Chain A
Amino acid sequence: MAIEKIQVNSTVYNLSSTVFDGQWVISPYMILQGTALSATTTYQYSLTSYLPNDGYSYEVIFSGTCCTTSTKGKTASVFIYPGQKTYSDMETLNGGIRIARAVARTAANQKYGGSAVVPLTGATRYITVNTMDSSANSTVYLWASAYRRLGTNA
């Protein structure tokens, strides 16, 4: 059955996103565009200009690519986690959500890419991006391509 409305004490409620999930909104938003990230460093980025400021949880689809420098043995990665985390936090989480990682085994750069659906719980509008590598990334791209408001059920 599809339940569209509930009436409680003469008030009709649409069963919608406060209880249930909303629709996917396809909306591109670039966060990092060819940015060099230092080794073993966390970066925090705000999504306040991307997501509605309504206090709800959201699922966001992120994509990212990483690229090593052109030196044998150098690694590159892009890991992500909801909220504002420290490097120590990310170590405890084993890097968080791993989007991509690569290593150069010749004297030329190596690339890797991937994506993730990331839950941003509550009013969180920040993500932490981390490299977890002893080598610096030469270039990292990271963007959000869609989001979806989530219901508030426990």
Chain B
Amino acid sequence: MVVVIGDNSVGYISKMNSTNFGGNVLDGNVVINANSVIIANEITLSATSATTIDLSSILSSGYDYEICLSCESNVKTKGKWGKLSIVSGTKTYANISDADTIVVTENNARTDASYYCWGTVWVPIKSTDRKITLYNNGSDAVYNITIDLKGYRTVGTNGKSVTNPIDSISVGGSAYKIGGSIADGSWYLSYYSLASGVTLKSGTEYSYSLSSYLPNDGYDYMVLFSGWGRTGTSSGNNCNLTLQCGSGLYKFMRCGYHSESSYICASNIMIPVHSSSKTVILTNGSGTSGTCGLYALAYRRIKAS
């Protein structure tokens, strides 16, 4: 179905508001912060405790949001176990159950060394409670919790249904296809191997093009990646993997060598890929070695950022 504006015999848009596009009804653009916005800086969260971070000074009122958080945590004493999760809104420890939480990192130290974990998650935020609650239901403290608000988007407030999907609208004689220029498209499950068993050199960047994976249509895409890392087999080897696309730099996963043999970790990450730069850069931190794999699993066209 095509909706034409300006011709009542076919149809018209009954309400437009030039100030609110991408918020009240539709999702907004994905905004990736060029610089770090640290909302937690090297904090410690005690065992079986929760703490709330107020985001109302960062996120405007009146909108729901999806926020992208890049996180790091550490457990550093033999026998200790910590688990860092995030809950949308304000909650007390007693009012949180496992199923309420979005797990960010979990580790248990088996030697007296730092067991760092990294993860990047998307968290829905309601306009009525623009806070997140950090939650540790491990038996021991989680240290060095650092959280960078990498980006966000407003979420539309639609909830009711209509009977016919709308393919495109015409405004002033120009056709706008819904599903990219105005609204997001559908998810496509599509597997694409970018790297498998690649040897990681210290402080080296590995660039992977998505130009043969994503449609060449000028739109931005949200892409879901999955990957794994394995440290080398020497003491001090770490696997500190970040993923970069455009101005966005995201913590992907991290583990360290602590005894006898290599350690492993695995994670996934969902990030926006800009039409003008369909390249992702995988970087391992300095002083490290190991191997890794990186795979794209799904993509979805999104509004231009």
Contact = CB atoms under 8 A, between A and B. Distances in A.
B270 to A, nearest CB: 5
Contacts of B121: 115
Interface string B261-297: 1111111101000000000000000000000010101
B224 A113 contact: no
Contact of A8 (B1, B161, B261): B1
Contact of A18 (B122, B162, B268): B162
B220 interface: no
A8 B126 CA distance: 32
A104 B110 CA distance: 9
Interface of A: 1-9, 12-24, 26, 28-30, 33, 57, 59, 61, 63-65, 72-73, 75, 77, 79, 81-82, 92-106, 108-117, 119, 121, 141, 143-146, 148, 150-154
Interface size class, chain B: 35 or more
B265 A23 contact: no
Interface of B: 1, 3, 10-18, 20-27, 64, 66, 81, 83, 85, 88-89, 97-108, 110-111, 117, 119, 121-122, 124, 126, 155-167, 169, 178-180, 182-187, 189, 191, 193, 196, 224, 226-228, 258-268, 270, 293, 295, 297-298, 300
Contacts of A81: 297
Given A2-B25, A15-B166, A20-B158, A115 B191 contact: no
Given A6-B11, A19-B166, 4 more contacts: A15-B26, A20-B183, A28-B98, A113-B85
A110 B75 CA distance: 12
What 5 pairs between A and B have smallest CB-CB spacing? A113-B106, A153-B179, A28-B99, A24-B124, A101-B266
Nearest to A67: B108
Contact of A110 (B108, B180, B224, B266): B108
Contacts of B117: 112
Nearest to A65: B106
B229 to A, nearest CB: 9
Given A15-B158, A18-B165, A113-B83, A119 B300 contact: yes
Contacts of A94: 191, 193, 196, 226, 293, 295
Contacts of A146: 88, 124
A13 B164 contact: yes
Given A2-B20, A2-B23, A96 B103 contact: no
B281 to A, nearest CB: 20
A47 to B, nearest CB: 13
A112 B107 contact: yes
Given A18-B161, A94-B295, A110 B110 contact: yes
A17 B167 CA distance: 14
A109 B182 CA distance: 49
